[in-house]
Structure 1
Amino acid sequence: MTAASQTQADFAEIQARVSGSSFYTAMLLMPKAERMAMFAIYGFCRLVDDIADDGTRPRPERAKALDEWRADIAALYAGRPAGQAAFLDFARRDFKLREADFLAVIDGMEMDVAADIRAPDLETLDLYCERVASAVGRLSIRIFGMDDKPGFALAHELGRALQLTNILRDLDEDADIGRLYLPRELLAEAGIEANDPQAAIGDPRVDAAGRRLALRAQAHFDAADRVLRARPRGRLLAPRLMAAVYRAILQEMLAEGWAPPRRRVRIGKLRLLGLVARCCISR
């Protein structure tokens, strides 16, 4: 099987994996062309993320795999055979997606490949969020049909809000693979000096660090909401829904706290349907 056909097979598997998630629900609410373009972006993100998280391969091999993605993205934009990136061509062409944003996502994944991130400083964490989340937002706003100024502002704020919420939800899963994304400044404020993932998240004082990071996520949600309430041009139901779902997840985590033991917060189907209805009514 060629690299391109293998990637197509992986992409089909990703579509199956994402079904039932809040991302999938948001995509289903979009017109077909936009929905398929969002699936392509999501597929790309999952494929490069799987490389970053593949603990069965040594780091140099994973770094090489990301470099191959960079080369294929460059070929895609140069009009050459694009190998594993070929499935992105229609989205790139129809929605004028920027090459720099695809490359930024790969750069973010490389941060996880170079070394396991453990208690980064706030500046490094923000750079990580910029690459793995806000860059995806900048790709998405072209599909939403937004103008660059409000679209880039939404990508900046909502991308960071979603990523910080994911970090707070995935503390245990990340620690199991040797990662700790809680910033060192907030851990220190909580009295935690260790950057060992299991030691840090096993300390009851981690709740204070989680709450401080949650405040930052809330501020980004509030800023994203201000962009959306200004009613910029574009099809905004999908980002409204994503903001509503992840804000609900954050609020539930705030109610439960981050002291061990924790459970991974999920939004049930009935609550998700309620959020969909509310977003549809408030358009």
Structure 2
Amino acid sequence: MTALASQPASQAETTTETPALPAAGSSFYTAMRLLPAEQRDAMYAVYAFCRAVDDVADDGGAREVRAAELDRWRADIDALYAGRPVPRTQPLVGPVRQFGLKREDFQAVIDGMAMDAEADIVAPDSATLDLYCDRVASAVGRLSVRIFGLPEEPGIRLAHHLGRALQLTNILRDIDEDAGRGRLYLPAEPLAAIGLSHPTPESALAHPRLAEVCARLLDEAQGHYDASWAIMNRESRRATKAPRIMGAAYHLILVGLRRRGWAAPRSRVKPGKLALIGVLLRQAIV
């Protein structure tokens, strides 16, 4: 699941021809509402694409059906860049042209969803997990930073680090939900270090040393947040307004997870409204 797609969709979402809108209470919605109209509309079109392919990977039916639909999305993206957009990619025509969005980044997102669709991911090695994070999160970041107007080199580095920070936060927040789907995104190496060489989602979540594995991933995520802030602090606040809000809002989740701990039963961590308002006031001022 991408960091964008993890934001709830509006109940008004009904067609693929009209970009899906995030729920009004989400941090993504708040961040995007502060953008100029052309950037906001472009981000909504990218969000709609991410929602659509994420829904295929998670709820698209039998595996062969999901694979076929993701292949259709690949073909539709290729057709978009060949000048033959179909109705569901029509909202991307303007953003691709105006902001120079790259075909390979859209295709990377689809490839990431295919990793979920082809088989339930269970304890991937660290390299595979990093590839997954690059595809489903940092590739979305690469699309986004071009829309935000960041320079190429720092923009790509920001997409690398912030995408991984957000995705690792998602993974840690959603371990119980993912286990219910038969998935376990915690990496194999730290699980093996606590004696789980062939873990299942159930055995990992019930293990008395689960906190050690999660603490390692928390620290990795924190490192990516730190790198992201270092990049954003050197760039225009106007161009980094939206990623600042998203990063700060997600970091509240990471802090909440560290404070809550990993003993079962685990309550879902969700930042309070006052904390989110504080993020908005600190980060939205240009």
TM-score, normalised to structure 1's length?
0.92
Q: 1:117 maps to what in 2? A: 121
Match of 1:268 among 238, 249, 272: 272
Would you say 1:14 and 2:23 are equivalent positions?
Answer: no
Q: Does 1:131 align with 2:135?
A: yes
CA–CA distance in structure 2, aligned partners of residues 257 and 100 of structure 1: 38
- Please state which structure has a larger fraction of its residues in helix: 1
* Mapped partners of 1:108, 1:37: distance in 2: 21
Instruction: Write the mapping of 1:234-245 to structure 2, written as runs, cut at 5 A.
Output: 235-245=239-249
CA drift at 1:233: 8.0
How much does 1:235 deviate? 1.5
> Please, which runs of 5 or more residues in structure 2 have no aligned partner?
1-12
CA distance in 2, matches of 1:90, 1:39: 12
2:45 — aligned with what? 40
Q: Work out the CA distance in 2 between the residues paired with 1:76 and 1:8.
A: 22
Q: CA deviation at 1:124?
A: 0.2
CA contact (8 A) 1:203 1:260 kept: no
Residues 60-139 of structure 1 aligned to structure 2 (within 5 Å): 60-139=64-143
Counterparts in 2 of 1:14 and 1:204: CA distance versus 1, 3 Å: farther
Q: CA deviation at 1:202?
A: 2.1
* Aligned pair partner of 1:25 in 14, 27, 30: 30
Q: 1:139 to 1:13 in 2, by over 3 A?
A: closer
Spell out, residue by residue over 1:44-71, the C-alpha distance to the aligned partner (whole angstroms, 9 max, x if none). Answer: 001000000016x111110000000011
In structure 1, what residue type is equivalent to 2:185? Y
**CA shift for structure 1 position 230:** 1.1
Give, in angstroms, the shift of residue 11 of structure 1.
Answer: 6.7
Deviation at 1:259, TM superposition (A): 2.4
Aligned match of 2:56:
51
Task: After superposing the two structures, state which structure 1 stretch, 45-54 or 77-86, moved more.
Answer: 77-86
Corresponding residue for residue 163 of structure 2? 159
1:189 and 2:218 are equivalent in the alignment: no
Over the aligned positions, Cα root-mean-square deviation in angstroms equals 1.7
CA distance in 1, matches of 2:16, 2:85: 19
CA contact (8 A) 2:19 2:91 kept: no
CA contact (8 A) 1:120 1:183 kept: yes
When residues 12 and 207 of structure 1 are mapped into structure 2, their CA distance, relative to the original with a 3 A threshold, is: farther
Displacement, 1:22? 0.7
1:90 partner letter: G
Which residue pairs with 1:3 in the alignment?
none
Does 2:284 match 1:280? yes
Counterpart amino acid of residue 212 in structure 2: A
Unmatched tracts of structure 1, length 5 or more: 1-6
Please report how far the alpha carbon of residue 197 of structure 1 lies from its aligned counterpart in structure 2 after TM superposition: 0.8
SS of the equivalent of 2:38 reads: helix
The SS at the match of 1:18 is: coil
Shift in alpha-carbon separation, 1:161–1:196, aligned structure 2, 3 A: same
The whole-number CA distance in structure 2 between the counterparts of 1:113 and 1:72 is 18
Q: Counterpart of 2:248 in structure 1: which amino acid? A: A
Is the partner of 1:273 in helix, strand or coil? helix
SS at match of 1:9: coil
Taking the aligned partners of 2:175 and 2:85, their CA distance within structure 1 comes to 40
- Matched residue of 2:284: which SS? helix
Q: d(CA) in 1 for partners of 2:38 and 2:19?
A: 20
Please identify runs of 4+ aligned residues in structure 1 that moved more than 4 A.
10-13
Greater mean deviation of Cα atoms: 80-89 or 256-265: 80-89
1:201 to 200, 205, 211: 205
Tell me which of 246, 249, 254 is aligned to 1:250. 254
State the Cα distance separating 1:14 from its structure 2 match: 3.4
Q: Report the Cα distance in structure 1 between the residues aligned to 2:240 and 2:98, rounded to whole angstroms.
A: 18
- Comparing 112-121 with 83-92, greater Cα deviation is found at 83-92
Residues 133 and 163, structure 1, Cα contact 8 Å, conserved in 2: yes
1:162-181 equivalences in 2 (<5 Å): 162-181=166-185
User: Aligned residue for 2:218?
Assistant: 214
Q: Deviations along 1:222-247, whole A, 9 cap, x unmatched?
A: 11111011125861110011111111
Q: Structure 1 residue 194: deviation in Å?
A: 4.2
What CA distance in whole angstroms lies between the structure 1 residues aligned with 2:89 and 2:269? 34
- Counterpart of 2:15, as a letter, is A
